[in-house]
Structure 1
Amino acid sequence: MKTLTDKQRRLWEFILGYYEEYSQFPSYADMQEEFGYSSSNSIYQHLASLEKKNYLTKHSRGNYDIHPTKRSQLEGFYPGIPVKGRIAAGGMHEAISENLGHLPVEIYPEKSDHYFALIVDGESMIEADIRDGDYIIIDPREPSDGEIGAILYDGETTLKTIRKKPDGITLQPENPAFEPIHITPGEWERVQVFGTFVGKAWKKGGNWGLIFRSG
């Protein structure tokens, strides 16, 4: 803690306490109110300093998390897997980018800390045992042929099995009630890949667990 200024240290201690009480990172409004700042600029500067000193890690614009090397200071609490939004498993719908907290589960080994979760909207993937309201775990890498990918296409999101063919890509639903989506090679450049489905979280009796896709 000697590497922090007094203001940085107080903010760091507030973040730790907030995590332990609410299981998620405090909002800018929470931090402004706690320290009486009239704008978020001072908070932003302190967070940037904490990131440079490896107390925090930045996972998207303006969004931070506890750095893996500092999690021991949470007195055994692991913040969990960040829930970054919702994904359509049905017709494609407008992307939703949110900070929806964390799933209170831990993935080993540490190299998997980059995984994140999305909430499923729709029933197009039920034969892959992915249902409306499920929390799915995403590895931020491009899916191989036959894997399930989370993608953004023309400003809309979808979750589908990826079928790579000579004439392009097919986004294949796992429900016969839904039609596949065909994307030509020229259109593929308009696709942003969020990642590959690797498992999902489930809750039973008040406890959370993980199940990973085999193969």
Structure 2
Amino acid sequence: MLTAKQHQLLLFIHSRLSADGVSPSFDEMKDALGLKSKSGIHRLITALEERGFIRRLPNKARALDIVRMPDGTGDADRGQMSANVVPFSAPAKPEAQPSHGRDQSPASDQVDIPLHGRIAAGTPIEALETVDSYITVPQSMFGTGDHFALTVDGDSMIESGIMDGDTVVIKGCESAHDGEIVVALVDDQEATLKTLRRAGRDVELIPSNASHKTQRLAAERVKIQGRLVGLLRRY
């Protein structure tokens, strides 16, 4: 079963292939779906490929092929729904819609966002790019922008109330203020959840647990992937 965004993207690709035989660019897909960045399109394309709806043709730019369409989508339905793809990119109240996540009813106070995997709140672990699943969270937790969720692995942030096994909600961004809790990507390989502090030309990633040490790294080794905006816990 496809999410609303996956279904919308599949119909958009199908309409462009039917019209001129060329798949749309990632920028065109991003604009058509109303997303803020192309990373969301990469995730949707990967999900559609994994589910057997599309395939990428090797050694060709912008080369996507439709393998199959969802059951019950006839030719007439495809034409009608494809014609409605672009208007979906301009919802009446875009500030209430996170750009990464499944479409929800306007009356709903719930939204689905991608759960990417585990994030270390201790020693950094390998960064995870794939979407493991989706979780439903209150829409009131969000402002504008891209959002995703990660499961906490470790105890280095317990003094900030972040426990092993908690799910953190992250707003995607490339910069943050000192004192904010961020997802930091170290050397383009390892991701960790820490409090950010700049120290001259270096960056400090500070734990909230006296038994863990602060990491001090050259600023060019650290990329901010997002900042903490919410936390979910099961009892």
- Interval of TM-score (by shorter of Structure 1 and Structure 2): 0.5 to 0.7
| Residues 1:123 and 2:123 aligned together | no
Q: Indicate if the aligned counterparts of 1:84 and 1:117 stay in contact, CA closer than 8 A.
A: yes
State the shift of 1:182 in Å: 0.5
In structure 2, runs of 5+ residues without a counterpart are: 1-7, 16-43, 57-63, 70-81, 91-99
Name the count of aligned residue pairs: 165
TM-score normalized by structure 2?
0.57
**Is residue 2:234 matched to residue 1:200?**
no
Which of 157, 180, 183 lines up with 2:191 in the alignment?
157
Which of the numbers 22, 30, 34 marks the counterpart of 2:51?
Answer: 30
Q: Is 1:42 the counterpart of 2:75 in the alignment?
A: no
Whole-Å Cα distance in 2 between the matches of residues 111 and 44 of structure 1?
A: 36
Contact 1:89 1:160 in 2 (8 A): yes
Q: CA deviation at 1:85?
A: 2.8
C-alpha contact 1:86 1:97 (8 A) present in aligned 2: no
SS in 2 for 1:127: helix
Gaps of 5+ in 1: 9-24, 58-63, 205-215
Deviation for aligned residue 1:126? 0.8
Q: Which amino acid aligns with 1:42?
A: D
- Displacement of 1:108 in angstroms is 2.7
Relative to the length of structure 1, the TM-score reads: 0.61
Q: Which structure dedicates a bigger proportion of its chain to strand? A: 1
Cα offset for 1:161? 0.9
Q: 1:178 to 1:81 in 2, by over 3 A?
A: same
Contact (CA 8 Å) 1:56, 1:65: kept in 2 or not?
A: no
Query: 1:61-76 to 2 correspondence within 5 Å?
Result: 66=102, 71-72=104-105
The aligned counterpart of 2:130 is: 98
Query: Which residue in the other structure is 2:78 paired with?
Result: none
**Structure-2 residue corresponding to 1:83:** 115
Cα deviation for residue 54 of structure 1 reads 5.5
